[in-house]
Amino acid sequence: MKLHPQVAASLAARPRPTQEQIATDPMAQLLATRAAMEAAVDRECGPPAPVAEVSDVDANGVPCRLYVPAPGAPVLLYLHGGGWATGSVETVDRLCRRIAAGSGCAILSVGYRLAPEHPHPAAIEDAEAALGWLRATAPGVDTTRLAVGGDSAGAQLATVVARRQRDAGTPLAYQVLINPCLDPTMSSASFAEFGELGVEATAAALFWTLFVPDAGDRLSPDVAPLTADLAGMPPTLILTAEYDVLRDEGERYGDLLLAAGVPTVVVRYLGVNHGWARKLALFDAAGPAADQVAAGLRAALA
């Protein structure tokens, strides 16, 4: 397979642990991956774009970062990727800044608890606690206009939060899902085809195990959104990547939303692999992806 040069450069920029290393000492490799992601932010994601107000806040006990481009802005609750076990508000800081600046929308980026120290449902509990804080407490923003979004594992959390809010009678206005990780069976054709390009099959299986140790619990809609009743979900934007193991499950979710009558836009970005959207310094497509998210938010929350 001939890769886009930027995919090859991205893979070379931060070498991943081998399958043998993961199998030998998974926790040591996980801790190393967390540290490597943090250390690579400037190199992969570029300099921070200015936003009028950026502050680290305590949202009902959950550490979060709040970006407010202007007083009275609508709000996006954002959940970072990283297999529910890596990533942080730092690893998506540049992406959140660009979306906030481009959309005029405030963003609450959630530092939810990570597996395996805190397995499911800790991350969902933290996301909902942060959302509750937004609605009750957040200063200077318009919480009558709320959206939810995330990338990879964070997109899984985002769409679960959206469905649970629908069920609670407090629906959200919009959801943004970037490279969503939605199928614990990992059975799609793209998983077999692209398992060495950013998310290896062994690593993905480990992340699911760390997040939900009991395989029987992975059948729940709170874990596997492809199994959920999707009628009445908020209008949705889904971005997938050509060379991503998660491509097919994200696009299948879009088909299911459309079949349920949910206004949905699905866009496949060509020549990119998993995690491209936050790597603004490595991928030419990352900026347009962030800008597309910003445009969707402007239209949905105007």
Structure letter (DSSP) for residue 281: T
Given a contact cutoff of 8 angstroms between Cβ atoms, the answer to whether 151 and 81 are in contact is yes
Q: Is pLDDT at 5 greater than 80 in this prediction?
A: no
- Cβ count near 124 (within 10 Å): 18
CA distances from 134 to 22, 74, 81, 139, 276 (A): 38, 11, 21, 8, 29
Alpha-helical segments (H) within the chain: 5-13, 19-24, 26-39, 41-45, 93-103, 122-136, 153-167, 189-193, 201-211, 247-259, 286-301
Instruction: Please report the pLDDT score of residue 54 as a whole number.
Output: 98
Percent of the chain with pLDDT over 90: 79
Q: Residue 157 and residue 147: Cα distance in Å, rounded?
A: 13
Instruction: Please report the pLDDT score of residue 301 as a whole number.
Output: 96
Tens digit of each residue's pLDDT (9 = 90 or more) over 47-79: 999 999 999 999 999 999 999 999 999 999 999
Q: Residue 68 and residue 105: Cα distance in Å, rounded?
A: 7
Catalytic entry in 4, 80, 120, 274: 274
**Residue 120 catalytic?**
no
Q: Is pLDDT at 1 greater than 60 in this prediction?
A: no
Tokens of 78: 């954002």
Q: Is pLDDT at 291 greater than 70 in this prediction?
A: yes
Instruction: Please report the pLDDT score of residue 139 as a whole number.
Output: 84
- Cβ count near 8 (within 10 Å): 13
Nearest residue to 150 (alpha-carbon basis) of 212, 190, 108, 202: 108
Q: Is pLDDT at 220 greater than 80 in this prediction?
A: yes
**Residue 274 catalytic?**
yes
Given a contact cutoff of 8 angstroms between Cβ atoms, the answer to whether 182 and 253 are in contact is yes
Q: Is pLDDT at 121 greater than 90 in this prediction?
A: yes
Q: Checking phi first, is residue 66 left (phi over 0); if not, alpha (psi -120 to 50) or beta? A: beta
Catalytic entry in 152, 183, 222, 248: 152
Domain boundaries, the chain: 5-301
pTM of the model: 0.94
Q: 58 forms bridges with which residues in the sheet? A: 63
Question: Going by CATH, does the domain composed of 5-301 fall within 3.40.50.10210?
Answer: no
Task: Give Cβ neighbours of residue 227 (< 8 Å, ≥ 6 apart).
Answer: 219, 220, 221
Q: Give the strand pairing for 236-243 and 73-79.
A: unpaired
Tens digit of each residue's pLDDT (9 = 90 or more) over 223-277: 999 999 999 999 999 999 999 999 999 999 999 999 999 999 999 999 999 999 9
CA distances from 166 to 9, 120, 157, 233 (A): 41, 20, 14, 7
Give me the half-sphere count of Cα atoms (radius 13 Å) on the Cβ side of residue 107. Answer: 33
**Residue 10 catalytic?**
no
Average pLDDT over residues 166-179: 98
Instruction: Please report the pLDDT score of residue 153 as a whole number.
Output: 98
